[in-house]
Chain A
């Protein structure tokens, strides 16, 4: 389909390993957002991009988390030296134009990360 896709859908890893989560936004969408959603909670903002530029990373919990979008399309969220508290659903969203907060954000299905 033409929606936001994320891979993998499920990731189980051991504590201390690095993981990379991928997001394919809707084609042509300028803005891309990463959220984290714990069980029983709403999505929590992590970071966002306009094209390839990271505009806001204030929601990244610590320096083990990083994100990139080198060509302004696909984005990767990387978590280094994973810890059990990183276990959550990681959601990506995209919107058509950048800088307009009224733009609808379209969410992907998420990647369920489990750190053992």
Chain B
């Protein structure tokens, strides 16, 4: 029973356009959310995070939006670049009680076409 769901296994966008990757969660105890990016043959790399006290966090071309009532978060990449092509994992944890145990989604493979 997946607590973190990424329902789109893949996404293809044109260079320069916006990429929107979605993630849903079921556990209402989650209060910290992260996005990791993974290139082939490498480990996942931290990209951006958001605490449940916020609804938006922005870092350059990357913005994460959190909708707690819908238990939904999304990662926006604008403008998308070919180097953004990778697998993106959504992850969540419960700050209270947990000690860093991250629950990951299955990932979404983003392809940015030149």
Evaluate contact between B32 and A104: CB separation under 8 angstroms: no
Cβ contact of A48, chosen from B9, B51, B101, cutoff 8 A: B101
Residues on B with beta carbons closer than 8 Å to the beta carbon of A18: none
Scan residues 4-40 of chain A and give those whose CB is less than 8 A from a CB of chain B: 4, 31, 33, 35, 40
Specify the main secondary structure of chain A where it touches its partner.
loop
Quote the shortest CB–CB distance from A114 to chain B (angstroms).
16
Scan residues 64-98 of chain A and give those whose CB is less than 8 A from a CB of chain B: 91, 93, 95, 98
Evaluate contact between A109 and B43: CB separation under 8 angstroms: yes
Q: How large is the interface on A (under 10, 10 to 19, 20 to 34, 35 or more residues)?
A: 20 to 34
Task: State in angstroms the CA–CA spacing of A86 and B95 once bound together.
Answer: 30
Return the chain B residue nearest A58 by Cβ: B101
Task: State in angstroms the CA–CA spacing of A55 and B98 once bound together.
Answer: 11
Confirm or deny: B104 has a beta carbon within 8 angstroms of a beta carbon on chain A.
yes
What 6 pairs across the A-B complex have the smallest Cβ distances? Answer: A42-B104, A107-B43, A104-B46, A101-B100, A101-B95, A107-B44
Evaluate contact between B100 and A43: CB separation under 8 angstroms: no
Return the chain B residue nearest A9 by Cβ: B41
Evaluate contact between A43 and B95: CB separation under 8 angstroms: no
Quote the shortest CB–CB distance from A73 to chain B (angstroms).
18
